[in-house]
Amino acid sequence: MGGTGTGQDPSFGVSVIIAAHRAHDTIARAVRSLLEQDWTVWEAVIVSDDGTDYRPTLRAAGIDDPRLVFTGTGRVGAGAPAARNAGLAAARLELVAPLDADDRFRPGRLSALVPLALGNGAAFDNVAVVRDGDDSPLQHLYEDGQAPALLDGDGFLATSVPMFPVVRRDLVPGWDDDVDFCDDVVFNVRLLDAAGPVPLVATPFYEYRQRAGSVTFSADSGARAERCYRHVLDRLDGDGLGIRDDGLRRRFTQAIAAKRARNAAYEAAFKAGRCANFQEFLTLA
């Protein structure tokens, strides 16, 4: 399971869940970012959601490690939530961390977040948004000096860049298969409802890659977001998405309404040719 020469407790490892759909061009980079971590007690649960085997692709890239676990959804295009749930079912370690197949962890991420997550139930970090084609930086979720030491539900609802925590598995809320666009938002609100404020590391250890062909880069991303927002509002009005805090549930409803308005503005900007994707739209403000 990897060495523990840095004083790591081998009983506290991280199951990194990688949902893979048509990800053969990027999967090696994502897995290599784990191999570069100085926290070595991890497993990568690679979930095929396209009916293909990712082992040959990784071996062709020189990656063959006993910490790699392969599973699948048994379907093609079941969606990231279903794939992550399949990965969660196969995960064996104390902590869970999602990693998109076209993103990467920067060196030092696990050693910074794992102890915090063990002690507090979960931990987040800052996020660097990078253009995939030329590696150019687009933005940080929090600029220098702006990141709060603790993140709560209200603080999270004020963000506009996806965030990917390390979570103790007894607090993992799972992913809703029927929330197929903003599933990370719902996951994080439910997590913070259960865990309360948790530490946030100001260093941008997670690299969120803006890639042509990705969901957020697609021409129909605005329409997909609108469908998701409407569905989430229906769920909030119905079962409340399992969020126990009435105030947080109400503020989440308000935040989704604000996201719908922002998405409508993005749709107008996209159609006018002012931006190519939602993250570029955010830089126009």
pLDDT digits (tens, 9 = 90+) for 80-129: 999 999 999 999 999 999 999 999 999 999 999 999 999 999 999 999 99
Helix (H/G/I), strand (E/B), else coil: 167: strand
Q: Taking the model in full, what pTM does it have?
A: 0.90
Nearest to 126 by CA among 107, 148, 110, 104: 148
Average pLDDT, the chain: 92
* Contact call for residues 222 and 146 (beta carbons, < 8 A): no
* pLDDT for residue 3: 40
Nearest to 192 by CA among 155, 162, 149: 155
- Return all residues near 251 (Cβ < 8 A) that are at least 6 apart: 153, 154, 157
Q: How far apart are CA 193 and CA 80, in angstroms?
A: 22
pLDDT tens digits for range 252-285: 999 999 989 988 988 888 888 888 777 677 777 6
How far CA 176 is from CA of 21, 86, 231, in Å, comes to 18, 12, 12
pLDDT above 60 (res 217): no
